[in-house]
Structure 1
Amino acid sequence: MSSSSDRAPGSSPDRGQVEPLAALAAVFAVGVGLSLYAGALDGALAALDDDREMAPTAADAFVDEAASFGVVDPRLSTAAEAARPTGYRLNATLSVGEHRWQAGPSRVADADCVERRVSARTAPGTVRPGRLEVCVWPAA
């Protein structure tokens, strides 16, 4: 048994300690909670902003959907549907030399459009530089 003179000042034999694993689990839980909160808050604030530009975001999503290893496949319809923002229409046009591929409804005059330079697969084993134009506008 230890005497009170052997203990550090301010310590008490009745004080508890936290196990390292429990402390790590608590820190992990707090980190996950803050990450989820920040993600939900970011999504909610973005939904309130009517002035945001949809075309650059949709173009980035479209390239992510249509490209494999950084090369866009000219069959655009599946990627156009996947990249279309909710409540909007999307038109994508890929031009490579004299060839053109299009997906989505015909665009309207006041559509928000953006262009991207991409690599496109024109035939098996053939990749050429191309221009991708993505236009979005609110669904009526």
Structure 2
Amino acid sequence: MSYSWTPEGEPRGQTSPLAALAALFAVCTGVSIYVVALGGAVPVGDDRAYADSTLHRVSGELSDGGVVDPSTLDSARSAAPAGRQLNVTLTAGDRRWATGPRPPTGTRTDAASRTTSVRLGPGSVAPGRLRVEVWR
């Protein structure tokens, strides 16, 4: 350890550059080990959730001023993620509209839904629910 002197004549300790480099190396090694361990804990694969982002795209595609017109439901199929199948269902009261194939039985699907306003006719709007199901 080297010393420097203050104007008052008292010694003041300083860290040698070698000790500072050793401390920096120890911190970087610790962070690297943490990142490697965390990376092994994250599942690898294509099990991402597609439904929430797809629902957002479908809702934007179908709604005009926050109101969904059931006659435009077929245009929502273009919002399907690449390599995925999409089913869009719109319900209002006891009425139901759907587009896209139904998921096969036993297939794991990712689904999301949100409330929306549904245009039932000229000047007639009712509360409803927009639901999407996405699968491979």
TM-score tier, shorter chain, comes to: 0.5 to 0.7
Runs of 4+ in structure 1 deviating by more than 6 angstroms, as ranges, are none
Task: Report the TM-score, using the length of structure 2 for normalisation.
Answer: 0.62
* Equivalent in the alignment of 2:74: 77
Which string of whole-angstrom CA distances, capped at 9 and with x for unpartnered residues, describes residues 27-85 of structure 1?
xxxxxxxxxxxxxxxxxxxxx97232100011000000011111111121112x22111
CA RMSD of aligned residues (A): 1.5
* Equivalent in the alignment of 1:129: 127
* Equivalent in the alignment of 2:110: 112
Residue of structure 1 aligned with 2:58, choices 62, 65, 69:
62
Matches within 5 A, 1:89-108: 89-108=85-104
Whole-Å separation in 1 of the counterparts to 2:132 and 2:69:
15
Cα distance change of structure 1 residues 51 and 111 upon mapping to structure 2, 3 Å threshold: closer
Local SS of the residue matching 2:119: strand
Local SS of the residue matching 1:122: strand
| Paired letter, 2:64 | S
Which string of whole-angstrom CA distances, capped at 9 and with x for unpartnered residues, describes residues 69-111 of structure 1?
11111121112x2211111010011110000000001123421
Contact 1:65-1:82 at 8 Å conserved across structures:
no
* Equivalent in the alignment of 2:8: none
Task: Report the TM-score, using the length of structure 1 for normalisation.
Answer: 0.60
In the alignment, structure 1 segments of 5+ residues that lack a partner are 1-47
Local SS of the residue matching 1:107: coil
Higher-strand-fraction structure:
2
Percent identity for Structure 1 against Structure 2 = 42
